[in-house]
Amino acid sequence: MISPSTLPQQDPIHITVVYEGDAYELDTYEGEYRNLMMLIFDSLYTEEFGECKGMGRCGSCLVEILSSGQTLDPMERNEESTIKKMTAPRKDIRLACQLLINSSLKDIKIKILREYQ
Ligand code: FES
């Protein structure tokens, strides 16, 4: 049996999410959630957020990156084409389901975009 003290320590990943004018401070760690969409869906119970459950096709998890101290993982073609269907492509608009929970999200501040849905 592994005791909690023998488990590797992970730095928390702090994320600020702006949703309908309110800012929510969320803490997670690598591996707790598959991606940013799952963290937001589970923490904020946002309606109609993440409808395709992370397939990168519905665009319901569109977010704007307000600030980020890290370089985010690059966009895959699937993500780019879904965003193009919804809005003019900008490098600060991403699909939350395509952003994996890892150190690149540390101290990121994002806004959930509802106006494109
Ligand atoms: S959950 Fe559908 S595109 Fe992200």
User: The domain containing residue 88 runs over which residues?
Assistant: 12-112
Ligand 1 pocket test, candidate residues 34, 52, 112, most atoms within 8 A of CB? 52
> Can you tell me whether residue 82 is helix, strand or coil?
helix
In a domain, 35, yes or no: yes
Task: Report pLDDT digits (tens) over 38-72.
Answer: 999 999 988 889 999 999 999 999 999 999 988 99
Question: Is 112 a residue whose pLDDT tops 80?
Answer: yes
Contact, 35 vs 100, CB < 8 A?
yes
The dihedral region occupied by 69, where left means phi > 0, alpha psi between -120 and 50, and beta the remainder, is alpha
14 lines ligand 1 (CB under 6 A): no
Tell me, yes or no, whether 5 lies in a domain. Answer: no
Question: Residue holding tokens 């409808």?
Answer: 51
Interatomic CA distance for residues 51 and 92, integer angstroms: 21
Is residue 83's pLDDT more than 90?
Answer: yes
**Is residue 48 domain-resident?**
yes
CA 44 to chain centre: 12
pLDDT digits (tens, 9 = 90+) for 14-29: 999 999 999 999 999 9
For residue 24, being part of any structural domain is answered with: yes
CB atoms inside a 10 Å sphere around CB 67: 10
Would you say residue 1 lies in a domain? no
Instruction: Please report, for the domain that includes residue 91, its CATH number.
Output: 3.10.20.30
Domain count, the chain: 1
